[in-house]
Amino acid sequence: MYKKFIGAVMIAAGTTVGAGMLALPILTGLAGFVPAVWVYIFSWLVMSYASLLLLEVNLWMNEGANLVSMVQETLGSAAKYLALITYLFLFYSVCVAYLAGGSSVVVDMLASLFGWQLSHGEGILLLLALVVPALYLGTHTLATVNMLLIAGLMLSYFFLLYTGKEYVHSENLIHKNWEYSLFGLPVIITSFTFQNVIPSLTAYLKGHVRQIRWVILLGGLIPLMMYILWEWLVLGVMPLDGPSGIQEALTLGVPATHALQGLLQNPRITLCSDGFSFCAILTSFLGVVLGLFDFLADGTRLQKKGFGKILLCGLIFIPPVFFSFLYPRAFFTALGYAGGIGCVILFLLLPPLMVWKGRYCQKRVGTYRVKGGKIPLVLTMIVGLFIFSVQIGISLGWISNQ
């Protein structure tokens, strides 16, 4: 049972630590280290509470129920279709971002290691060759592959910290500009998202409430600690302005690992950055497609075996592959809209609404109830609406990094 628990924690943490981590220091760099850390902590607390609300609702349902069923049972058909559309928008957008960003990482890594010159499309096909079989073979196989990738992620991550710490300048960490602190908030929210796999993990752990609660808490706490150390390294190394600075990286839309490589010109850091980027994207990608697999199976009533399983894999991968070929530079844009719109609706607005309706209108009683009454539910919805407005402000140019 403990092996399953550790595997579940690794799936949650791996889903959380993904491509968004490569963007976070660049998007928050102009605000400074201290403001960024406070926004990280705030986002983790909010998303953890909302995750526990989602768990409460999930435990009201029959085993195998996913978000679409949960919304329909509690909020009705209209909300169900809103959830369906938003879920598909969110996770197809994230898949497009991971395929586009992951392809670039694979192409760069193979070029530096073996001198191979691959195209963007070939990089996408290599990613699919790793992800599709792991999903098709089931949650146990996916969890095993994910644990191996997590091991690679942690090794490369700590090697980057160890090697890069000598380049950190403490004066770079003093800078604070709270005016820019909201700019990265939508992507930070995305970077604390693993709620899509909670129904899958609930079934995987046979509804063991205590273990699932710890999975939720550790699945967000481990990434929080990693994000803070990563922020310390990148902002301590990179200047705000000038060549290979934060502002230039933000303007060019390049991830933190790429910016570090260009600034330090250290072959060991280059190799480790490529490995870190690869594992970060793959671990999150696996978690996303696992949640999408169960969601589509629940929504379409397709069987998770035989031809039904093949159809589900086709529904998951064909649309994002198509768009990632059309828009190879969709990385940052897709992540921003995914967090500010998709994550907010699905994981900050719908969970408290479902709990409110289930607890106080339908009088549901399950095996778990989140502490607190109506006030925390209202506050969670207010926070969700605030983040939604931040994304709209960024899209309209009202909130800028200039």
Helical H segments across 303-373, by residue range: 306-326, 331-337, 344, 350-356
The reported pLDDT for the residue numbered 352 is: 96
Question: Which amino acid, 51?
Answer: S
pLDDT at 275: 84
Amino acid 334: pLDDT = 66
Amino acid identity, position 32: G
Question: Which residues of the chain have a pLDDT value below 50?
Answer: none
The pLDDT of residue 133 is: 86
Distances (CA, A) of 13 to 177, 195, 285: 30, 11, 12
pLDDT per position as a tens digit, 166-217: 888 889 899 898 888 888 888 888 889 888 788 888 888 888 888 999 999 9
Closest CA to 186 of 395, 402, 400, 388: 388
- The CATH-assigned architecture of domain 2-395 is Up-down Bundle (1.20)
Provide the residue ranges of all domains of the chain, joining segments of one domain with +: 2-395
* Exposure on the CB side of residue 71, measured as CA atoms within 13 A: 23
- Tokens representing 60 are 């009201």
Rg (CA), the chain: 20
CA angle 247, 248, 251 (to 5 degrees): 85
Distance CA 281, CA 273 (A): 12
Residue range 1-27, pLDDT digits in tens = 577 888 888 888 877 776 677 788 888
First to last CA, the chain: 51
**Given this model, what pLDDT does residue 402 score?**
57
Token reading at 367: 């095996």
